[in-house]
Structure 1
């Protein structure tokens, strides 16, 4: 049960009501402060009066209904669901929360962090974290589990602070021992730990956690989540050059995606297969898979732009100039559809990089990559792409007989490689 003081504080701040406005004529300001900070227990009469002023009714008859609706909504946040459906369900529950005293409130408020992240509303997610941080001392183990899990999500998605994410996930994992969570919830944590280890290039750990998640999702016949795990395993095996195992996992992911007619899973897997064949130096196969993603208009715009960026690089590397130019033109057309290009800035940099090279606008190419693109990648700790574009720049300087500059950027690429191997 949520502490009543924490509940009152949450509702008061949400309604932008001052302590003075809420306390007036009911209790003193200092007494309300003690109630909100859990330093005293108020009488039922005072709680009733405060709730009445907040427009909240104390009625336990709706508790089971609210809990069921919350559980359904929480489940929607962990599957591949339509954002409009998630938002519609959120608004329905929010209206119940606004008018009823319920023990489900705090868990609902914590899940809002995850909800805002799904919508890409990072400022709202951070505001919710800061708001809840004030009362986090009252959280029980279940609250703390989700609190740390979603803070890990925030650090990973917003700031690419994967080490900090992992610290939060580790705390959440410790809480599992004290809770009776459903298997698929534990599997979800294992999956995001696997993803985070993958981002950190801790490949063996990523494989271990992906396998744990996969075992659980298989038991529950959750084939979409199984496909996600197979993709992580495929990426991991590709990195350690176990290509047969990588292809096997990607093919399983592809099969499960088609079984569920899940276009996002199918095309994510095609993108990964493209990268695999690119790594193997099999350009024609790589191009085939990247083109599959681009041609599917049902796939999210960001995935298609990512595939175009990969395709441009692949065509450039095999001296397919005209196809590179066509892909660049199409990539810019897709980018123009974003209302805010900032979250997808990397694709803009990639397209401009190759556009300047192909047009032989070398001063623009050098300025972009040196002054903007590489610093952007270094700030994001995207060392894999630092290697690619520092190496591209170094080879460019070699062709220009600028050997001192070439050596400088080969060193940048080598340093980035060391960062990956040392993470």
Structure 2
């Protein structure tokens, strides 16, 4: 049956302000209608015709619902992050909004555009739309609130505002029982997003709770790519909880799934995070081996993507006190990132700091951390990253016998850690 017929039935029922009970009465059970609308049941032609009579249309004739169905296909593809198909559908859609599209869909189209602009990395349009939608958000229906909050979370996520993203996703969850499209897929997609944002906020227990829920759904539906994504996310959280055996197990599961799908991006994530596991275990040579594999796979990737293994290799050699190799990777990362803004990649600041640590510190080192780095991470609510640089600054003051300053920043580190542990 595909997704379009069930969604066409749903949207035309909503157009008539008809409940599922009213539409199903005398034809089928409400639970069976719900399955049809969600695309999990394929009704016989006779049932479709009876439903069509009540809705005053024949869902089998695409001319009656082509515009609504087209919009719903676009919703589906942007939810699945199918970029090329989302662009193709949008380019046609934006020139035909004056046609017979259900007026109730127009607000949802505008809200979905926020997700679309995030998906195609159009930051300017995404920012303008986020501000515009905020002004009218108090008038949204529950369904509109769900999509608005979810997509606003995506917007904050791309801006590195992971705490705001997590708050939006969790608020969206309150409206997940409203009349949303592709309901099961939407809900478990949201669970994965909550897990991902929680991971970025260094909340491993919350990440595990939601990611396991998503994984269970994807396993039952044989979505191997999504299963691999979940195993990678779980591996990150288990490593942060110092359960390195469990983390390694998760990555091995993910690699087996990735090998079936031949997904390069997921293999990149597995190698990077296995390197992190070995680094946490004090096995630097094994860590370096995985970071090098990761770098080789990313050689044709975006600039921001390449900075990740470069940073890891620089820090791992620095840990080994191998300053010659640390400097090789520092120079590469520093030169690649010097024209980037920190909001594009948090590694920009990392290479600037290690430029001092490896090549020698001068007075501007303190200003960089105090005036730029700490305020940046505090504004983004990236407290773990903030604490990393407070620790570096504290150690610097201590090593240079500036004990009063060292004590001040060590105390800030203790207070911040205690405060954010209690909150989170």
> How does the TM-score come out when normalised to structure 2?
0.77
Equivalent residue, structure 2, for 1:57: none
Q: Distance in 1 between matches of 2:92 and 2:367?
A: 51
Equivalent residue, structure 2, for 1:105: 106
Report if aligned partners of 1:264, 1:299 keep a CA contact under 8 Å in 2.
Answer: no
Equivalent residue, structure 2, for 1:315: 317
CA shift, 1:385, in A, is 1.9
Cα RMSD (Å) of the superposition? 2.8
String of CA shifts for 1:112-150, please: whole Å, max 9, x gaps: 111112233344224324434555566444333212221
Q: Distance in 2 between matches of 1:350 and 1:63?
A: 57
Q: Distance in 2 between matches of 1:287 and 1:306?
A: 13
Residue aligned with 2:381, SS: coil
Equivalent residue, structure 1, for 2:25: none
Q: 1:306 aligns with which of 290, 293, 308?
A: 308
Report if aligned partners of 1:384, 1:420 keep a CA contact under 8 Å in 2.
Answer: no
Report if aligned partners of 2:145, 2:172 keep a CA contact under 8 Å in 1.
Answer: yes
Residue aligned with 2:262, SS: coil
Q: Distance in 2 between matches of 1:157 and 1:271?
A: 21
1:73-92 matched pairs, under 5 angstroms:
73-79=74-80, 81=82, 83-92=83-92
CA shift, 1:188, in A, is 0.1
Equivalent residue, structure 2, for 1:39: none
Equivalent residue, structure 2, for 1:246: 247
String of CA shifts for 1:352-384, please: whole Å, max 9, x gaps: 211122221332333322332223222222222
Q: Cα gap change, 1:354/1:183 in structure 2, threshold over 3 Å: closer, same or farther?
A: same
Report if aligned partners of 2:162, 2:382 keep a CA contact under 8 Å in 1.
Answer: no
Equivalent residue, structure 2, for 1:327: 329
Q: Cα gap change, 1:372/1:221 in structure 2, threshold over 3 Å: closer, same or farther?
A: same
Q: Distance in 2 between matches of 1:136 and 1:391?
A: 41
Equivalent residue, structure 2, for 1:398: 398
Alignment pair present for 1:230 and 2:253: no
CA shift, 1:189, in A, is 0.7
1:141-290 matched pairs, under 5 angstroms:
141-158=142-159, 160=161, 162=163, 164-179=164-179, 181-290=182-291
4+ residue runs of structure 1 moved beyond 6 angstroms?
1-4
Q: Cα gap change, 1:254/1:79 in structure 2, threshold over 3 Å: closer, same or farther?
A: farther
Equivalent residue, structure 1, for 2:417: 417
Which shifted more, 187-196 or 307-316? 307-316
Q: Cα gap change, 1:368/1:128 in structure 2, threshold over 3 Å: closer, same or farther?
A: closer
Q: Cα gap change, 1:414/1:119 in structure 2, threshold over 3 Å: closer, same or farther?
A: farther
String of CA shifts for 1:308-328, please: whole Å, max 9, x gaps: 122212211211111111111
Q: Distance in 2 between matches of 1:215 and 1:158?
A: 29
Q: Distance in 1 between matches of 2:139 and 2:87?
A: 28
Equivalent residue, structure 2, for 1:355: 355
Q: Cα gap change, 1:412/1:307 in structure 2, threshold over 3 Å: closer, same or farther?
A: farther
Q: Cα gap change, 1:116/1:413 in structure 2, threshold over 3 Å: closer, same or farther?
A: same
CA shift, 1:192, in A, is 0.9
CA shift, 1:63, in A, is 5.5
CA shift, 1:284, in A, is 1.6
Task: Report how many residues are paired.
Answer: 364
Q: Distance in 2 between matches of 1:131 and 1:366?
A: 40
Report if aligned partners of 2:166, 2:197 keep a CA contact under 8 Å in 1.
Answer: yes
Equivalent residue, structure 2, for 1:19: none
String of CA shifts for 1:153-198, please: whole Å, max 9, x gaps: 2334336152x44443334323233436432221101111112222
Q: Distance in 2 between matches of 1:272 and 1:63?
A: 50
String of CA shifts for 1:250-280, please: whole Å, max 9, x gaps: 2222222232222221112222222222222
